[in-house]
Homo-oligomer: A and B are copies of this chain.
Amino acid sequence: MNILKEKINVAIMGFGIVGSGVAQVLDMNADLVKAKVGRPVELKYILDVRDFPDSPYADKVVHDFAVIENDPDVDIVVETIGGAKIAYEFSKRALSAGKSLVTSNKELVAKHGYELLSIAKEKKVNYMFEASVGGGIPVLRPLMQCLSGNRVSEVCGILNGTTNFILTKMQREGLGFDEALKQAQALGYAEADPTADIQGHDACRKICILGTLAFGNHIYPEGISCEGITKITLDDMALAMAAGYKIKLVGRAIATEKGKVCAFVAPSLVPVSNALSTVDDVFNAITVRGNAVGEVMFYGPGAGSLPTASAVVGDVIDCAMHVEHRKGISWNDSAPERLESSDDLPFKWFVRTEKDSVPAVFAGKQPICCPDSPYNAYITDPMTAAQLTSAVGELAETAIRVFE
């Protein structure tokens, strides 16, 4: 890119919820983007298989990626296609063509971030993805820059708005999981096929990105444990609350005592005294624990068109301000030997049992109980998954980790 160019040209690939939000933000805030960058940042192309004849951007729509790839005037490509197929191919080609790339695509970053960053480095361009975790919440830059003086012991959070909405509905209104999911779908918070959200895959991709940035080696989603929220019951919630906990879907990446990293996604009992427990509805929050700062939390809208576009446009501005001086996001390739399974780490567990089938390990212990509940529950001492199985066996109806 040539610093003497009068303006910076942007192409958006994928004109869906996020892509159209990016166009809108570039438009409505054009004056301040220009003031920050020092010259105009203009939308030149929108790549999509569809046409948008009624859109104010109709004349920018192209259907052939090669138009963008081969136009030397395109400086920054925004990838909001989603998925890791065509988005992966176009991302590689855009970087290889010497264009900086900005994305909100967590699946692609989690699966191919190392390779794409390597291409970006070789081509001396930027690859930025603040929007891939926490939507509009600033978290990757603060983690990499402001907190860079810390030895991070854990990064964790409520990373998926859909499941947090469902859990909040269950907790507050006593809706069952299926009914809460239906409401989420009716409100547009959950997709017709909600698998990626409710099974924890979306949160898993995000904790992989956070863990990778915090600890330096690429963590692939298939290499870590991931459990969704489909088995959580109202009985679990009531018993947990009676003991002072809310049940949240939490992604965690922990520096272990063995010098390894343990990353996983699982429903977790969060103490009501912890700030994460106050994060309700579709909001997200990410907590970073470091040996200097203690604990800080970033909170806000984890999804949505304009909030996610806010993060994308922040990256576009940063790319536009660094056309000559690449900002060095980078990490190392995966190191599976540095990963420790969540099964091997000791946690306290919340165990729910039938009232008349109490495992011997809890004999004499005062159970957590709720009026009218046919169940008892207990919080165990810290133990591994195998130790738990050996202690409570088939007698546990549910076992959920306690977040500390």
Residues of chain A touching chain B, judged by Cβ–Cβ distance below 8 Å, are 21, 25-26, 28-29, 32-33, 36, 130, 136-138, 141-142, 145-151, 275, 278, 290-301, 304, 306-307, 309-314, 316-318, 325
Given A293-B306, A294-B300, A295-B300, A130-B146 contact (CB < 8 Å)? yes
Partner of A142, one of B28, B36, B138: B138
Are A297 and B300 in contact, with the CB atoms below 8 A? Answer: yes
Are A311 and B136 in contact, with the CB atoms below 8 A? Answer: no
Residues of B within 8 A of A145 (CB): 138, 141, 314, 317-318
Q: Give min CB distance, A80 to chain B, whole Å.
A: 14
Residues of B within 8 A of A146 (CB): 130, 138, 141-142, 311, 314
Q: Give min CB distance, A22 to chain B, whole Å.
A: 9
Residues of B within 8 A of A32 (CB): 149, 151
Q: Give min CB distance, A53 to chain B, whole Å.
A: 26
Are B297 and A310 in contact, with the CB atoms below 8 A? Answer: no
Which 7 pairs between the two chains have the least Cβ-Cβ distance?
A149-B313, A138-B146, A296-B300, A138-B142, A292-B310, A293-B310, A136-B293
Give complex CA distance A146, B147 in Å: 15
Give complex CA distance A298, B317 in Å: 22
Give complex CA distance A173, B149 in Å: 37
- Minimal Cβ-Cβ distance residue in B for A305: B292
Q: Give min CB distance, A39 to chain B, whole Å.
A: 15
Are B29 and A136 in contact, with the CB atoms below 8 A? Answer: no
Residues of B within 8 A of A318 (CB): 145, 148
Give complex CA distance A241, B15 in Å: 46
Partner of A298, one of B292, B298, B301, B309: B298
Give complex CA distance A146, B316 in Å: 10
Residues of B within 8 A of A310 (CB): 147, 149-150, 290, 292-293
Given A149-B310, A149-B317, A314-B148, A275-B299 contact (CB < 8 Å)? yes
A–B complex contacts, Cβ < 8 Å, 21 sampled? A21-B292, A25-B149, A28-B291, A29-B150, A36-B148, A136-B294, A141-B145, A141-B146, A148-B313, A148-B314, A149-B309, A149-B312, A275-B299, A290-B310, A292-B313, A293-B300, A294-B300, A294-B306, A296-B300, A296-B301, A297-B299
